[in-house]
């Protein structure tokens, strides 16, 4: 072959290599996460049967950590059949906030799965790293309930370490199957579902000859059957059956999902905290027996290690040296505590609770020995005397020591208090809401700081004005009661005039 011919071929190959490399480089640089804003969000979502949307803020550290994982997942899912689209939306941008509010964005990052052109919205509750995101979304984009046709199917689908729900339908049609399908679609983000025509394919449980909902679990009796196919009834059954008779609260991450379910449940919560390394054997069996006795009686049970329960002790105003300790938090947020409890005394103490014989436990800081600062310190044990029975006009701040807004407000409240120091009818006070229980039904404290004003005659109102000295003083003057002088005070005043 002539040299010129070789040169032409080599040149062509080099051009082809450069072109291919250019395509690869361009593909690597391509952003697979779709960027949306207020101008195109609604229109884009309406065109997709399934789209994943992350609401983020540029300054958010968690969002920055998620970004490369989210992009890797988007790249892999772009080749899924059909492609799964991942998008992002800057909810911090002023122009974008109104639309973000419609999706109930409470923090960053918030990820939503939107189906049917945005008609169905569900929270994304999956992992935050690329491989986990991919696996989770592949499940979500498929049928809400997979079909099990063999033992091999069951082995591939059912994770023995997690909750799994199977609908057994000798004839997969009719109202019961439709209700089951509705439930699976509703709960698919939280629970894995499958259905089968024959229970013999399943790893646990015997044969059935009528529609049956079977919940498989890695604890207690390992499976439980249910036959009421009303959607609400099935949902309640799954919620209750998914919690162990006794939830274990320790540092083992496999227990954490059950702990979350325990605390998000709607029943009264019974919590026993002991030192797992020295006391677990003495308590475990007896506590389990008590839990079995009361299961289904509106009570859920948790057995916690002292080390893992440090935050719970702080919340209830308890100290580790009070352990072993059993705590009840009822559905009205009333708390009952028995410290230094013995294994054999738990059952009797619970009977007293059920019979209404126990006195609620109220968390309070110690009463201050001195209270001579301009802003007076109120604790739970002095709230009645200093606020409700004081006969004064009281501005009370509920605060948290770690709250930045509270720290900014503190010097302003000091100035307000100083301005009223010579007025015996006005009291400016503060209460640490993290260290003192707040009376139910009196105050609605959802965040910090929260300020309430109680007039001398008992009128209670929440202060939501500007946090300035002038605005707070103006509010107090407008809403206070001018107290009537006593007869002795009038007499003293008359003598002074004479």
- Residues recognised as catalytic: 60, 63, 403, 406
Q: Which of 107, 44, 52, 54 is nearest to 77 (CA)?
A: 52
Cα–Cα distance between 445 and 427 in angstroms, integer?
A: 20
**For residue 38, what is the DSSP state?**
T
Residue 272: which H helix or E strand, with range? strand 268-274
Q: CA angle at residue 186 from 181 to 192, to 5 degrees?
A: 75
Q: Which of 37, 46, 42 is nearest to 97 (CA)?
A: 37
In sign, the C-alpha dihedral spanning 142, 145, 151, 154 is positive
Judge contact between 455 and 444, C-beta under 8 A: no
- Name the H helices within 355-486: 383, 404-419, 469-479
**For residue 386, what is the DSSP state?**
I
The count of other CB atoms within 10 Å of the CB of residue 103 is 18
In DSSP terms, 302 is beta-bridged to 247, 271
Q: Give how far the C-alpha of residue 150 lies from the chain's centroid of Cα atoms, to the nearest Å.
A: 38
């Amino acid at each position: 072959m002539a040299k010129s011919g070789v040169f032409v071929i080599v040149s062509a190959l080099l051009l082809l290599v450069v072109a291919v490399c250019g395509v690869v480089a361009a593909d690597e640089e391509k952003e697979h996460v779709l960027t949306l804003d207020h101008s195109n969000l609604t229109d884009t979502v309406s065109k997709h049967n399934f789209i994943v949307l992350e609401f983020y803020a540029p300054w958010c550290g968690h969002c920055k950590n998620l970004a490369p994982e989210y992009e890797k997942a988007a790249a892999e899912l772009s080749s899924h059949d059909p492609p799964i689209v991942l998008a992002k939306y800057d909810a911090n941008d002023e122009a974008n906030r109104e639309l973000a509010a419609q999706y109930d964005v409470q923090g960053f990052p918030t990820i939503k799965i939107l189906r049917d052109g945005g008609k169905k919205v569900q929270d994304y509750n999956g992992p935050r790293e690329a491989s986990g995101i991919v696996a989770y979304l592949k499940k979500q984009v498929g049928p809400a309930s997979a079909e099990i046709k063999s033992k091999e199917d069951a082995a591939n689908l059912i994770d023995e370490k997690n909750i799994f729900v199977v609908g057994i339908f000798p004839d997969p049609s009719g109202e019961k199957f439709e209700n089951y399908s509705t439930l699976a679609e509703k709960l698919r983000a939280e629970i894995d579902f499958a259905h089968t025509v024959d229970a013999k394919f399943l790893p646990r449980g015997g044969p059935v000859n009528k529609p049956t909902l079977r919940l498989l679990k890695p604890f207690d009796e390992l499976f439980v059957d249910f036959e009421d196919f009303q959607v609400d009834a099935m949902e309640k059954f799954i919620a209750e059956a998914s919690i162990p008779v006794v939830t274990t609260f320790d540092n083992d991450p496999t227990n954490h999902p059950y702990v979350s379910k325990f605390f998000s449940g709607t029943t009264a919560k019974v919590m026993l905290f002991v030192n797992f390394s020295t006391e677990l054997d003495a308590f475990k069996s007896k506590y389990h027996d008590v839990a079995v006795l009361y299961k289904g009686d509106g009570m859920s049970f948790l057995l916690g290690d002292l080390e893992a329960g440090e935050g719970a002790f702080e919340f209830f105003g308890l100290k580790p040296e009070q352990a072993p300790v059993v705590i009840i938090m009822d559905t009205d947020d009333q708390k009952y505590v028995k410290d230094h409890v013995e294994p054999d005394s738990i059952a009797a103490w619970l009977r007293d609770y059920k019979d209404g014989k126990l006195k609620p436990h109220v968390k309070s800081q110690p009463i201050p020995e001195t209270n001579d600062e301009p802003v007076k310190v109120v604790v739970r044990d002095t709230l009645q005397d200093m606020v409700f029975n004081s006969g004064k006009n009281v501005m009370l701040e509920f605060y948290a020591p770690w709250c930045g807004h509270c720290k900014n407000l503190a010097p302003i409240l000091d100035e307000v208090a100083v301005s009223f120091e010579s007025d015996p009818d006005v009291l400016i006070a503060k209460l640490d809401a993290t260290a003192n229980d707040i009376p139910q039904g009196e105050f609605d404290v959802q965040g910090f700081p929260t300020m309430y004003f109680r007039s001398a005659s008992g009128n209670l109102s929440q202060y939501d004005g500007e946090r300035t000295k002038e605005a707070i003083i103006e509010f107090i003057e407008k809403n206070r009661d001018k107290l009537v002088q006593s007869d002795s005070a009038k007499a003293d005043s008359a003598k002074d005039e004479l």
